[in-house]
């Protein structure tokens, strides 16, 4: 072989199936006699159902059943037996008459066709005893509460010495981000089919094993009686990391009607029933000496959750890790609203937190008259500030140098409104990107087939990120085989167990398991050959299979003594129309320190996609809550704006060479989420440079910029 497979920019091994329509997504499995379920939403935000009339719907053509709280099967503990995140969440399963948010499912109509089910769902009538809902963030802040944990750690953290006097510069501002919602191309969908006491669930998910566990616990059946299948995911971004109501309702209905039931979440329901990013209010305080050295950093964040489950947007996490301030203090608080449950959305906490922190750093740089890159280098953290632990590997300095050079940052005039091109005000801004490195125990198997090919299996998921391809490369590299002689299988709960595809942990977790399985297979073959591989040619054709696992505990003990994060530097140019306030982003240059790159092509694609989402976060995305009714009023892609081709221009992504073997045996960290971090701040900083207008509230829309005349 001319080059080892790992690191090569290979095409996706599943690409042909996708572009030719042969990739089967969960709503497309061709089960016989399948019928359709449609959820009926509540139209109040808080209260209880007094009466529900489904008689008219039941009499309509094609209707098989209408499930409500009056006739739905009773579940053990009302279905709350599996509510441990990430897989388990509080669900709406027709177990009582309570209404907790606008759009909560209050019935499920099952009919022969989707159209018949939709029509009948519109004819289910309910009357309510409505209660006053809490829907205004500002009003609810008086009752803010402290979460038990945030981002897997303590909600509050304080480190360093007492406050020092004599700061030459002090920045204290509040930054806000709105509710946002996931909008992957593939909306959530489930097909459930019972055969006796065993159920098969085809579910669009980021966590096959989680689906199996939640379904089993919810129905009180053994896990071996649940088979979850998901070979392809058309995007998830965190929303498909948990099991939501529609999945369990599909299984419930299928058991009742004795037929496969398909439930597809509509685009409007994506804004209600499968989570989203909560709004945040973040107060940043920075104190520094004249030379730029930080003396103190404080980051106090408030985010919303629902009334029935805590979810914390852990936006103070980057502040605990990025800059070497001798004193730090971070806090997280929650505000309870009568809305649906928020959840993980790409780089939860880190994307919102870097917006606030990196804007504040830019403001401090202007206060001190320093270059924003110089300020960050002056406060580069050689150890994690909040813990004092050394980094497993960190090449952030190289990221600043590489990205700044590719962007041409040295030509920047720091004066706001100093560059104009006709009617366009031109601005340059930058920010730091970061995301923590995670891994969990994963299992894989490897089998040599009679035809000489190798099949490697693990119950992980491919969200469109390239998991099929990367795991094939790792297996081929370990076995020294051509790519075309290796096949990787995933997306089935009967395969060796793997963790959720969230937290950017799939490659870091499953990759070492794949390598371990392939090493075990090679050792097994040598054992069978008595140490002489040539003897295998004399053996009759037979399948040889081995299983292996990769556990964090089995990694180098030093991993527990180090802090591990990925880092990057983002530089952007914006152009702002001086009359209309329209913002354009003609170019982005970014460099990342993210461990060993497994596939240069898919990795670059991942980071470009994250940057595109960062553009949406900065300029477009906002879910608008009607504070009278609790309804999301822009629950469609006509009114909820996301970037399209016309919004995106040149994105230049580069990697600093790195091999983080203190983190795992592959030297690889995840890259699925770091791409969105820092982007919104870099754009906001560039908008300030272009216009002299500091926008601290996302998204940056025309009304917040106008008027732009200098008088």
Burial category of 325 from C-beta neighbours within 10 Å (exposed 0-12, middle 13-18, buried 19 and up):
buried
- Give the total residue count for the chain: 711
Burial category of 697 from C-beta neighbours within 10 Å (exposed 0-12, middle 13-18, buried 19 and up):
middle
Element (DSSP H or E) covering residue 373:
helix 372-378
Contacts of 609 (CB under 8 A, 6+ apart): 675
Three-state SS annotation for 571-608: EEEEEEECCCCCEEEEEEEEEEECECCCEHHHHHHHHH
| Helical residues (DSSP H) of 205-299, grouped into ranges | 208-219, 245-257
Task: Return the DSSP state at 369.
Answer: T
Q: Which residue has the tokens 């999945």?
A: 247
326: alpha, beta or left? (left if phi > 0; alpha if psi -120 to 50)? alpha
Q: CA 277, CA 344: separation in Å to the nearest integer?
A: 7
Contacts of 315 (CB under 8 A, 6+ apart): 280, 282, 299, 301, 303, 332, 349, 350, 352, 353, 356
Classify 416 as helix, strand or coil. coil
Q: Which residue has the tokens 């750093």?
A: 361
Q: CA 212, CA 374: separation in Å to the nearest integer?
A: 50
Catalytic residue among 298, 363, 658, 673: 673
Q: Are strands 226-229 and 198-203 parallel, antiparallel or unpaired?
A: parallel
Task: Return the DSSP state at 5.
Answer: S
Q: Which residue has the tokens 């371990």?
A: 516
148 catalytic residue (yes or no)? no
Q: List active site positions.
A: 673
């Amino acid at each position: 072989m001319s080059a080892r497979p790992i690191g090569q920019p290979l095409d996706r091994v599943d690409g042909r199936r996708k572009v030719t329509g042969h990739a089967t997504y969960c709503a497309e499995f061709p089960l016989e006699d399948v019928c359709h379920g449609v959820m009926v939403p509540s139209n109040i935000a808080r209260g209880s159902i007094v009466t529900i009339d489904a008689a008219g719907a039941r009499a309509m053509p094609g209707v098989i059943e209408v499930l409500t709280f009056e006739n739905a099967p009773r579940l053990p503990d009302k279905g709350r037996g599996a509510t441990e995140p990430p897989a388990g969440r509080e669900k709406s399963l027709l177990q009582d008459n309570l209404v907790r948010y606008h759009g909560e499912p209050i019935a499920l109509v099952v009919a022969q066709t989707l159209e018949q089910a939709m029509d009948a769902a519109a004819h289910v009538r309910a009357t309510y005893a409505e209660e006053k809902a809490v829907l205004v963030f500002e009003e609810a802040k008086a009752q803010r509460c402290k979460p038990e944990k945030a981002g897997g750690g303590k909600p509050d953290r304080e480190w360093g010495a007492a406050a020092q006097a004599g700061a030459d510069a002090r920045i204290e501002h509040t930054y806000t981000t709105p509710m946002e919602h996931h909008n992957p191309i593939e909306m959530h969908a489930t097909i459930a089919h019972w055969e006796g006491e065993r159920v098969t669930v085809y579910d669009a998910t980021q966590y096959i094993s989680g689906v199996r566990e939640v379904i089993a616990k919810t129905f009180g059946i053994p896990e071996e009686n649940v088979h979850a299948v998901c070979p392809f995911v058309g995007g998830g971004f965190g929303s498909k990391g948990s099991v939501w109501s529609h999945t369990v309702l599909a299984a419930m209905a299928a058991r009742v009607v004795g037929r496969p039931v398909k439930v597809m979440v509509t685009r409007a329901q994506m804004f209600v029933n499968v989570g989203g990013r909560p709004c945040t209010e973040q107060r940043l305080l920075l104190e520094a000496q004249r030379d730029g050295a930080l003396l103190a950093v404080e980051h106090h964040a408030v985010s919303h959750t629902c009334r029935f489950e805590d979810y914390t947007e852990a936006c103070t996490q980057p502040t605990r890790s990025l800059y070497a301030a001798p004193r730090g203090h971070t806090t997280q608080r929650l505000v309870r609203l009568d809305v649906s449950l928020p959840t993980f959305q790409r780089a939860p906490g880190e994307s919102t937190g870097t917006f606030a922190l990196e804007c504040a750093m830019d403001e401090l740089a202007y206060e001190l008259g320093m270059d924003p890159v110089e300020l960050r280098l002056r406060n580069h953290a050689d150890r994690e500030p909040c813990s004092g632990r050394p980094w497993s590997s960190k090449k952030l300095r190289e990221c600043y140098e590489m990205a700044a050079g590719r962007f041409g940052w040295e030509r920047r005039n720091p004066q706001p409104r100093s560059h104009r091109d006709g009617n366009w005000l031109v601005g340059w801004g930058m920010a730091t990107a970061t995301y923590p490195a995670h891994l969990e125990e994963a299992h894989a198997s490897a089998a040599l087939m009679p035809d000489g090919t190798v099949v490697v299996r693990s119950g992980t998921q491919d969200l469109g990120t390239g998991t099929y391809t990367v795991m094939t490369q790792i297996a081929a590299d370990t076995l020294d085989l051509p790519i075309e002689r290796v096949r990787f299988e995933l997306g089935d709960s009967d395969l060796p167990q793997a963790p959720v595809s969230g937290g950017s942990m799939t490659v870091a977790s499953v990759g070492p398991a794949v390598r371990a399985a392939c090493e075990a297979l090679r050792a097994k073959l040598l054992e069978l050959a008595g140490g002489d591989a040539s003897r295998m040619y004399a053996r009759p054709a037979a399948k040889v299979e081995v299983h292996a696992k990769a556990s964090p505990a089995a990694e180098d003990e030093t991993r527990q003594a180090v802090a591990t994060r990925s880092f990057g530097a983002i530089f952007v140019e914006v152009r702002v129309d001086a009359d209309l306030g329209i913002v354009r982003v003609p170019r982005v240059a970014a460099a990342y320190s993210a461990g060993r790159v497994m596939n240069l092509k898919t990795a670059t694609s991942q980071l470009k996609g994250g940057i595109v989402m960062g553009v949406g976060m900065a300029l477009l995305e906002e879910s608008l809550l009607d504070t009278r009714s609790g309804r999301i009023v822009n629950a469609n892609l006509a009114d909820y704006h996301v970037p399209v081709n016309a919004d995106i221009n040149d994105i230049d992504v580069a990697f600093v060479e790195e091999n983080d073997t203190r983190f795992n045996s592959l030297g690889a960290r995840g890259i699925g989420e770091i791409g969105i971090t820092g982007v919104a701040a870099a754009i906001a900083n560039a908008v300030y440079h272009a216009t002299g207008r500091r926008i601290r509230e996302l998204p940056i829309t025309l009304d917040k910029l106008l008027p732009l005349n200098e008088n």
